[in-house]
Structure 1
Amino acid sequence: MDLKLKVSSYYPSLTKSEQKVADYVLGASESIMYRSVTELADLSGVGETTVMRFCRAIGFKGYQDFKLALAQDYSPHRQAREGSPEAGEDDGGYPALVHRELASILADTMDLLDRTRLDEAVRRIHEAGYVQLFGVGTSGLTALDAKNRLLRIGLRAEAATDAHIQAMMAVTMGPGDVAVGISLSGSTLDTVDLLAKARQQGAYIIAITNYAKSPITAEADLVLLTAGKESPLEGGSIGAKMSQLLVIDLICEGLARYDLPRTREMRERMAKAVIERIY
């Protein structure tokens, strides 16, 4: 069933506040699939819990389940609009298309960059006694990449992929430590929960996300925005990861400039440490 038709069929049985969400959904374009639960709540003039009730009232387990159905609903329309797989061959075909999309994501991320916030993030990490990076899925891989980059310039940082280890690390943080949460959607339950635990222990919280209004930003002291939007059917896209890595790269470059001689020394040490492991 067409999702908007489904919403319309349930409309009379919804509460007045749930109908506000329905009204926005019925009048919105496919861009709604890129909205966080916080953004949809704000746009509808209701609370996040009302959005969740709306999703359950029309037969979904939650907001992400609703977004997945929305993405599936729009997929045939997108395919029809884009035409055959050969569409765009005159412009270089799919290699050129992918390149343009990635270049656009990086450019958009730079446009979103708040230099004051970036500099503050760099300062906080530079002065931190301990840095812990949190993320799951593709964002977890970004966290591991960030750990590697920070280690190479001599900064002690940690990132883990095991949920239990992450939880233990979060509760061992304290004042003077920095927790960096990476989540494209800003609604990743595990990451938000880990940041909340770290925050309770007094750690300073930095969030790297695509959504300025999302659950993760409510836990953050400082937010750095990325521009790699993806629908639920496009999870783990390289463009989204590249936008996260760009922000990480900017942070590391800022940290390196605090003490260039030491940075060069640490990079030389790291190179010598691994050189024997390479033919």
Structure 2
Amino acid sequence: MSLYCLPLIRGRLPGLRPSEQKVARFIMGNPEDVVNMSSVELGSAAGVSESTVIKCSQRLGFEGFVQLKLALARDLAVAPTTAFGEVEQGDAPDIVIQKIFNANSAALSDTSKVLDPEQLGEAAALVSQARSVSLFGMGASGIVALDAKQKLIRIGVLAECELDPHLQLTRVSLLGPTDVVVGISYSGETIDTLEVLRLAKEVGARTICITNHPGSSAAQRSDVVLVASAAESSLRGGALASRIAQLSVVDCLFVLVAISRYEDAMTCLVKTKRAVAARKGGS
């Protein structure tokens, strides 16, 4: 289990019961206060019983509330002290810069803590050995899927990306056991991405998902789950921090695939770089 409290809570929040979500949200909103609270005090502050606090701690993977507080204290020991939190209407440009960059930095740091190296290695092995790799995502996650495609094709991986839901299902229906499908969804509950993963299972393709929520429906429908961690607010609803986190997961996957097929990857990189060099101008 991850020793990092806040990224873990953020990822598992949707899978908690409503009363437990009250506890989790209070912890995320008031971490400095919670480390000095008893389970009774936290329950009172969150509007739930002490037993709910303990059950919430256990459902998050801790033995109890004391262990959760210890992990939370470790998080706070390395937390940034500059401007943070949601961007607000009256924020000046310098504060917006601090908040956005700190949010993105936190997303990268949190993702490095929750991304499972074994799952990442398994995903890289699947992609490296696949006949083809099909990448899917909707909205901002679709942009990440396109980025993954352009990286993989440069090292000789037969990668495709469809953003239209009908074309996604059409493509997946023609796949088989030697193909890999990658679904990208922040929530893990995007209907179109879930349909792609469902159909991929039906045709026997191997499935990978990149999501913020390891207990989500997308994670349950995937052979390999790569977890990113980023919080989004109302003014960052365009998936700013989560997109940065997802892109970094893609970067890790790409590098591991390139390493696993190093000679071929380097040859392909030279060829693809040469193919577009004349169109870039300059020397």
Query: Structure 2-normalised TM-score?
Result: 0.68
Instruction: Structure 1 unaligned segments of length 5 or more: list them.
Output: 1-19, 33-41, 44-77
Q: Which residue of 2 aligns with 1:220?
A: 222
Q: Which residue of 2 aligns with 1:94?
A: 96
* Cα 1:258/1:29, change in 2 over 3 Å: closer
* Cα 1:129/1:97, change in 2 over 3 Å: same
Query: Of residues 258, 261, 264 in structure 2, which corresponds to 1:262?
Result: 264
Distance 2:133 2:261 in 1: 18
Which one is further off, 221-230 or 231-240? 231-240
Asked whether the equivalents of residues 232 and 240 of structure 2 are also in contact (C-alpha less than 8 Å), the reply is no
What does the per-residue CA deviation read over 1:171-224, in whole Å, with 9 as the maximum and x for residues that have no partner? 111111110000001010000011100110000110100001111112111100
* Cα 1:278/1:204, change in 2 over 3 Å: same
What does the per-residue CA deviation read over 1:47-69, in whole Å, with 9 as the maximum and x for residues that have no partner? xxxxxxxxxxxxxxxxxxxxxxx
Q: Which residue of 1 aligns with 2:120?
A: 118
* Cα 1:192/1:231, change in 2 over 3 Å: farther
Distance 2:181 2:175 in 1: 8
Query: Of residues 126, 131, 134 in structure 2, which corresponds to 1:132?
Result: 134
Query: Of residues 149, 152, 165 in structure 1, which corresponds to 2:151?
Result: 149
Instruction: Structure 2 unaligned segments of length 5 or more: list them.
Output: 1-15, 29-54, 57-84
Distance 1:196 1:117 in 2: 20
In the alignment of these two chains, the number of paired residues is 213
Distance 1:183 1:166 in 2: 14
What does the per-residue CA deviation read over 1:243-266, in whole Å, with 9 as the maximum and x for residues that have no partner? 001010001100111132322211
State the identity as a percent. Answer: 33
What does the per-residue CA deviation read over 1:23-42, in whole Å, with 9 as the maximum and x for residues that have no partner? 5567774789xxxxxxxxx9
Task: From the two aligned structures, give the one with the greater helix fraction.
Answer: 1
Give, as a single letter, the amino acid of the residue that structure 1 aligns with 2:251: D
Counterpart mapping for 1:29-40 below 5 A: 29=25
Give, as a single letter, the amino acid of the residue that structure 2 aligns with 1:177: D
* Cα 1:267/1:221, change in 2 over 3 Å: same
Please give the secondary structure, in 2, of the residue aligned with 1:234: coil
Counterpart mapping for 1:1-279 below 5 A: 23=19, 29=25, 84-86=90-92, 93-231=95-233, 234-279=236-281
